[in-house]
Structure 1
Amino acid sequence: MLAEDHLNPVKLLCSYLFGFVSERLVTLLAALILLGIMVDQSDHVIYHSLRTFLRCTVNNIFFRSIEIIGMENLPEQGPAILTGNHSNQFVDAMVLIANCHRPISFLMAKKSFDRMVIGECAKAMRAIPVVRPQDIVSKGKGVVFTDGTDMLRGEGTAFNTQVFAGDSLKVCGRALRVKDVTSATQITLSGPAEASEAGAEYTIVPRVDHQAMFSSVLQGFNEGKCLGIFPEGGSHDQTDLLPLKAGVAHFVLEAFQENHMRVPVIPVGLNYFKGHKFRGRVVVEFGPPVDLSDDLCNEYLTDKKGTTEKVLAKVTTAMRSVIVPAPDYATLQLIYLSRRLWTEDGRKLEAREAMDLNRRFALGVRMIQKAGGFDDVSGKEERQRRTSEVAREAAAAAASEKRDETFTKEELGKLHHMQKSLGSYQKSLKRLGLHDHQVSLLQWRTSADMVAKFLYVLLMVALGAIPFTVFNLPAIAVARVLATREQEKALKGSTVKIAARDVVLSYKILVSILVVPILYVCWALCLILFSGFSFTTITLLVLASPLFSYFGVKASEQGVRAFKDIVPFFKGLAHSREQAQLPLARRLLQKEVRDCVKMMGPRLGDIYYSDKVDWDEAEKRTIVSSQSDPVLHKGQDADGN
């Protein structure tokens, strides 16, 4: 109707006014109406403006590509909860806000919410602050003693002013819940504590009342809003999920009990590739909603703890089905390499296919590791150092017995040889400065190709990289220094981070967003003071600076890619024989990987045969013993033919 001039009320009104009211007055009236609407709907205007800004910067500048899988699993309207893995501090929320078709309100740590700039942006993006107990921990006065009962005695303490019922005390790594404060030097605990004659220092973890936050979330569900939550509780750089906090389960179950409202829980996998670096890549996958039956939700009335644990288990499985879980980074690299070798040469997998294959390999590797078929590829010495000699010998004997039951000697030999070959191949690639996809091109590469690449690099550097780097060097330097400082600070203050890479890109982005506009203003002042250009010219140059910077980023990226193609050529001069043998070594390794997959695949069940995998059931499955005949699917034999 609005497309028809004789039915559009705005056009009809303007046509009647056109004869006796000037165009300027009509324009002014329209502008005032528009301004009034913007003021009245200011929160929507600010949110969508920031989302557009993030889409332009995060999607096009800070990341090389962002691929979305399974967006159809997110309902168009109505309440919903997005549960994502937390691998990249503030960037995780930025990526989801920029690429989701629905507004999202994220739960955010009050500690971050109260920070300057970050907090203001969070308020504009409708974040909900959450007080975390670990953020308000305080050191207790004096020392404490336990005698094996529920009484805790203090010396030099001030329990009556520092501690309250419901708080927890962390003593020698143990959490002790406070039932009652008897005096300044005596506390009644909720249960007996292990006896300790020596006085120990302690920290106080206050009890946090989340009632206001819960009310805000439930009110949002009633209004049909979408909630974003990272149930691991904090960001980290590990290759698997941390244990989930109970909040997401309570939200779903409380909404069902109070309003009989079914709130779908949508697992979201944020899979970063070089996610701590500028121009990395991310694949965002939305999984199907978690299946929570009415019977399970009704159990919450009689067994809150048990029902919460069941819901968390389902959410954990769903979240692991949209990421590539691995015990460590080295194993994750072997998984990616195995998937590339398994894939037919020359075939370009779609993001959905690549992620599905990665997960199948990850689960297969984990099942084989549990059965003792693969050796641990990293962290072995550290774990052995922490394990007692007796326990280590018992574990080794149990693993050996399990291996004997599950694998034949021939199978064990093939698995161990493949693992060793994969590791050796990776080391060769690193030594020669190569990536796996470049190996198949080595035999076709000529000196003329290298000369052309070298000239291309010079051109890209001259036209894009050098001007871009010089122009933005102060911002680049400041962002790198502050991000490194924040990384060191985060690593010292965390027990779950490996290298604290999860905070690096967040601070590079935040610092860049703040520093780059200031830098452009400084360049404008320099032009005004020293260039002699007209004001119009300077204004145009400043306004065009973001566009020039964007082209500089793209040109620099192309130059870096070409440079990475040249590096193996020069390294190959020192390792010419090894480089010449690499294509053949890859073909042999590819055959070995495919043979091992065909050997083990039928014994891994659905992850080998089925197009769609029930990840909950697949996680529980164990490898079929080689002494029994595996159940074959759709007439396939043990070779997968």
Structure 2
Amino acid sequence: MASVRESQAAIDTHADGRVGAQPSPRVGKPAHKESNPMTNWVYDVFLWTFSILVDLFFREVHPRGSWKIPRRGPIIFVAAPHANQFVDPLVLMRTLRIEAHRRVAFLIAEKSIKRKFIGWFSRHVGAVPVGRALDMVKPATGSIYMPDIDDPLLIRGYGTKFDGPEIQIGGLLVLPSVNGTAASTEVAEVLGPEELRLKKPFKGGIAFSQLTGREDVTEDGAFSNRDQKGPAADFHGTRYKTAPKVDQSKVYDAVFDRLSAGGAVGIFPEGGSHDRTELLPLKAGVAIMALGALAAAPDSGLKIIPCGMNYFHAHKFRSRAVIEFGNPVEVPKKLVEMYKNGERREAVSQLLETVYQSLVAVTVTSPDYDTLMLIQAARRLYNPTGKKLPLPMVVELNRRLVKGYTHYKDDPRTIALKKSVINYNKQLKYLNLRDHQVEYAKLSLVKVVFLLIGRIIKLAGLSIGVLPGLILFGPVFIASKLISIKKSREALAASTVKIQARDVVATWKLLVSMAFAPLLYTFYTVVLVIWTYKTRVNGLVPESLPLWWIPPIGYTVFPMITFAALRFGEVGMDIAKSLRPLFLCLNPTSSNPLYKLQATREQLSHEVTELINTLGPEMFPDFDAARIVADPFRDGFQTPPTPSTN
């Protein structure tokens, strides 16, 4: 809800009720004139090709709730969190094509569509380019400050050129980034070269401290000393950046055209990719698109489908994901009428709140990284069935634990348990162990010895299978690692919301692999052809085999070797990670830290389970201690209702 409130500036920008605030859809059925019309066969070939890469990069992508997606009619898919820059739309496009047989035109940043490779494919799969003001941020001349704390809309400068091309009415003022976040707001009026007024004040204590140089500012932006109206005595302003006003009329026209033709549009309403644990403020565009389309065609049956992009270590190779689809959101007719009658700000605000709540229902969000780590630890400790949980149930359990922790975080029992779980995590980190490996302490010494010997032998065999592929594909691994790190640093420097810019890592690993792998396979195939031509591979290739057979053999065998190495390596890494706890178990004495940790875990698991089973029924009517989360197929289970603004 806080995210929606923070989005009010975006709502005001696009839906302030003025004539021409944003393009109105044409009444009646418009001509279908998209700037990048979708080519179905290119879309399917593109998806089939890149699905191979998705299968290679991710160990598992599990769809959930895909039966909720209408097979026909206009749909706006809203997806969050946007944790993987170009991978997110690819994964979602693939899932929707397989599960719902729908082709989707995604909105894509204009700067991305200008990239040669990405741009060509984006245009042929019907992507709609969107110009983003924050992509055009540039350092501006001079420094700025707030002269009067009672008038936060007034901004003055030292050596600024507000009346020049740097500042546009409707453009943005952007303050320096602090902790990965940069405050920004819209310019309403230019009063002179060193004075302007804002449409909305900057938000938060950090922004006000930057603009005044004062330290008596609370987190929410209140000043302790109200008698002092101006900035600190020795304050000379803060540096700032500007962004131009962006005309989005072509974007809305393209979206209205596709929806009027019964198509589907996909959008990441946070505006850009990020690596935060909470949702960013939603942009107003998705609400304007839905209301505008329904204002032109009230009986079109347009629905908004929330899509939760739930990743487990999104930036890492062979990670897992759950793509969850929520209940379709039907826009109330009341909001459409409000929108048509000039009450656009209120209509957009209400619909945006509904969209936000629908996304919260299918995502796992937490206020910070430490809280997320705490929740995941509690989820591993809480398992009354003692069974391995399916991936969708893991996501649902994480979601409920976040809600429960948020509600009961000030409860003394929760505070005490939090300290114990954090201490347990520290012990795991100190011993370089994972939680599930602590269970090895229960094994007898004889079983540990046999298990250790067996795994070492298995690891040696897998290493032999991995070695050829590792040597052949090693240059690609190295290049993708180095380039993704470089691009991550560049993205972090250019962003106002990223923390470590992990959201671009997977994208660049895939892009580099796509570019380097064919070149590498071609090089190896050429070498094989030459070797065969000159020596028949030292006599290993019979003379009866025609030389023209060698290229197709090379292009088949080399990728197979690589794929085998990936699969063997995946299993081998799991085995290698299990060796350390087994070595620790060779010491059967009570002084072994693993035995102590195992006893701590048992006690902690009991405490976590008892607290959740005590508090769970108070929050969740369908709480079932035996099943952990409710079985959606059991008798009496009811699907939660679609969020409504009525």
Q: Same fold, TM exceeding 0.5?
A: yes
Corresponding residue SS for 2:70: coil
Corresponding residue SS for 2:39: helix
Q: Does 1:292 align with 2:331?
A: yes
- Whole-angstrom distance in 2 between the partners of 1:593 and 1:293: 42
1:152: Cα distance to partner? 6.1
**Does the CA contact (< 8 Å) of 2:137 and 2:243 recur in 1?**
yes
Structure 1 residues 468 and 302: alpha-carbon distance in aligned structure 2, compared to 1, 3 A threshold: same
**Does the CA contact (< 8 Å) of 1:267 and 1:288 recur in 2?**
yes
Corresponding residue SS for 2:394: helix
Alignment of 1:31-70 (within 5 A): 43-59=39-55, 61-70=56-65
- Whole-angstrom distance in 2 between the partners of 1:177 and 1:124: 35
- Tell me what 2:424 maps to: 425
**Does the CA contact (< 8 Å) of 1:88 and 1:506 recur in 2?**
yes
Which residue, out of 311, 329, 342, partners 2:382? 342
Deviation per CA, 1:160-201, whole angstroms, max 9, x where unpaired? 544444334447877564456677677676689997795665
Query: How many equivalent pairs are there?
Result: 535
Structure 1 residues 281 and 191: alpha-carbon distance in aligned structure 2, compared to 1, 3 A threshold: closer
- Whole-angstrom distance in 1 between the partners of 2:138 and 2:115: 20
- Tell me what 1:483 maps to: 484
Higher relative contact order (CA 8 A, sep 6+): 2
Out of 84-93 and 198-207, give the one that drifted further. Answer: 198-207
- Whole-angstrom distance in 2 between the partners of 1:241 and 1:489: 22
Q: Does 1:354 align with 2:394?
A: yes
**Does the CA contact (< 8 Å) of 2:53 and 2:510 recur in 1?**
no
Amino acid of the structure 1 residue aligned with 2:507:
S
Alignment of 1:155-194 (within 5 A): 155=159, 157=161, 159-170=163-174, 177-179=186-188
- Whole-angstrom distance in 1 between the partners of 2:40 and 2:418: 54
Corresponding residue SS for 2:481: helix
Corresponding residue SS for 1:285: strand
Which residue, out of 348, 352, 373, partners 1:308? 348
Structure 1 residues 245 and 530: alpha-carbon distance in aligned structure 2, compared to 1, 3 A threshold: same
**Does the CA contact (< 8 Å) of 1:74 and 1:266 recur in 2?**
yes
Calculate the TM-score normalised by the size of structure 2: 0.76
- Tell me what 1:520 maps to: 521
Deviation per CA, 1:102-148, whole angstroms, max 9, x where unpaired? 11111111111111212112112221100001112233445668766
**Does the CA contact (< 8 Å) of 1:268 and 1:286 recur in 2?**
yes
Structure 1 residues 134 and 521: alpha-carbon distance in aligned structure 2, compared to 1, 3 A threshold: same
1:553: Cα distance to partner? 0.9
Out of 50-59 and 255-264, give the one that drifted further. Answer: 255-264
- Tell me what 1:455 maps to: 457
Which residue, out of 267, 273, 278, partners 1:235? 273
Q: Does 1:206 align with 2:264?
A: no
Alignment of 1:13-162 (within 5 A): 43-59=39-55, 61-85=56-80, 86-101=82-97, 102-142=102-142, 155=159, 157=161, 159-162=163-166
Deviation per CA, 1:3-49, whole angstroms, max 9, x where unpaired? xxxxxxxxxxxxxxxxxxxxxxxxxxxxxxxxxxxxxx992111100
1:156: Cα distance to partner? 6.4
- Whole-angstrom distance in 2 between the partners of 1:367 and 1:192: 31
Out of 599-608 and 230-239, give the one that drifted further. Answer: 599-608
Q: Does 1:570 align with 2:572?
A: no
Which residue, out of 552, 557, 569, partners 1:539? 552
- Whole-angstrom distance in 1 between the partners of 2:160 and 2:368: 45
Corresponding residue SS for 2:329: coil
Calculate the TM-score normalised by the size of structure 1: 0.77
Deviation per CA, 1:353-409, whole angstroms, max 9, x where unpaired? 33222211110011112xx23xxxxxxxxxxxxxxxxxxxxxxxxxxxxxxxxxxxx
- Tell me what 2:603 maps to: 588
Q: Does 1:329 align with 2:369?
A: yes
Amino acid of the structure 2 residue aligned with 1:604:
M
Which residue, out of 614, 617, 622, partners 1:599? 614
Q: Does 1:318 align with 2:320?
A: no
- Whole-angstrom distance in 2 between the partners of 1:240 and 1:174: 17
Structure 1 residues 176 and 326: alpha-carbon distance in aligned structure 2, compared to 1, 3 A threshold: closer
- Tell me what 1:511 maps to: 512
**Does the CA contact (< 8 Å) of 1:143 and 1:157 recur in 2?**
no
- Whole-angstrom distance in 2 between the partners of 1:174 and 1:358: 31
- Whole-angstrom distance in 2 between the partners of 1:425 and 1:155: 55
Report which of the two structures shows the higher radius of gyration computed on alpha carbons.
Answer: 1
- Tell me what 1:629 maps to: none
Identity of aligned residues (%): 30
Deviation per CA, 1:273-297, whole angstroms, max 9, x where unpaired? 1211111111111111124321233
Corresponding residue SS for 2:271: coil
1:239: Cα distance to partner? 1.2
Deviation per CA, 1:255-278, whole angstroms, max 9, x where unpaired? 111221442111111111121111
1:212: Cα distance to partner? 0.8
- Whole-angstrom distance in 2 between the partners of 1:493 and 1:83: 25
- Whole-angstrom distance in 1 between the partners of 2:145 and 2:314: 47
Structure 1 residues 584 and 267: alpha-carbon distance in aligned structure 2, compared to 1, 3 A threshold: same
**Does the CA contact (< 8 Å) of 2:440 and 2:585 recur in 1?**
no
- Whole-angstrom distance in 2 between the partners of 1:181 and 1:475: 52
Q: Does 1:554 align with 2:567?
A: yes
Corresponding residue SS for 1:75: coil
Amino acid of the structure 1 residue aligned with 2:94:
A
Q: Which runs of 5+ in 2 are unaligned?
A: 1-36, 177-181, 203-228, 537-546, 625-629, 631-636
1:431: Cα distance to partner? 3.4
Alignment of 1:356-505 (within 5 A): 356-369=396-409, 372-373=410-411, 412=412, 414-444=413-443, 445-463=447-465, 465-505=466-506
- Whole-angstrom distance in 1 between the partners of 2:77 and 2:492: 27
Q: Does 1:265 align with 2:312?
A: no
- Whole-angstrom distance in 2 between the partners of 1:612 and 1:331: 30
Structure 1 residues 204 and 237: alpha-carbon distance in aligned structure 2, compared to 1, 3 A threshold: closer
- Tell me what 1:282 maps to: 321
1:340: Cα distance to partner? 2.9
Structure 1 residues 291 and 442: alpha-carbon distance in aligned structure 2, compared to 1, 3 A threshold: farther
**Does the CA contact (< 8 Å) of 1:151 and 1:192 recur in 2?**
no
- Tell me what 1:382 maps to: none
Structure 1 residues 607 and 231: alpha-carbon distance in aligned structure 2, compared to 1, 3 A threshold: farther
Corresponding residue SS for 2:170: coil
